[in-house]
Chains A and B, each alone.
Chain A
Amino acid sequence: MAHVESDNGARGTVESAVDASGAPIVKISGEIDISNAEMLGRSLERIVGAGGGPRVVDLAALEFMDSSGIAMLLRAAARVDSVQIRNPSSIVRRIIECTGLAGVLHLES
């Protein structure tokens, strides 16, 4: 688990986990912005790896994300076949939809 805390900056974590059905997922929690997106992104890319089937990213514990977080997710998504976004907040859902990215960052219904 990567825990990144900059001086008064955003506090966020990326960790691998399994969901209730036993399937592997990536959980992102806390906040993502310009102060920690690069470091968290390196952890995310390490966890999702490259190629293979779809990856599920669970945002249930994500408190805040701006376009720095979107860029981080897009970099990870470019390395694998597809990324499913689970439990986005309404504002994260709105960001993904209004920037035309729902075809890349698939929102689970």
Chain B
Amino acid sequence: MFNHPNFIRRREKLKPVEFQPVSEVFEPQVGVIPKSDLSGWVDRRRKVKWSMSAGRKYYLNEAKAREFETKGFLDIVSGAVAPVSDDERAEFLSQVTRISMGGTNG
């Protein structure tokens, strides 16, 4: 006769895994090709900038791609973005200043 040790068997009660909507984990990306050389600040205090060269393909967050497309900075070449309302368009375009160098060079 053999007596098994009387272990107290405790098992953690399993908790259900929580799933987040994909859109809250990964921002949807769309493919873009800039029409101009674009740059902007990642962290102005630390003087860190991002830049994108005209004519090359990049992937951007949908929201930023949508804004930049409306401003005429780039073309969206893959993926889809939400439509831009007239109010949004006006707001985006109000942020853009254009310096035209026409014929005043050198």
A, B in one complex? no
Give B residues with C-beta under 8 Å from A.
none
- State the A residues within 8 Å of B (CB): none
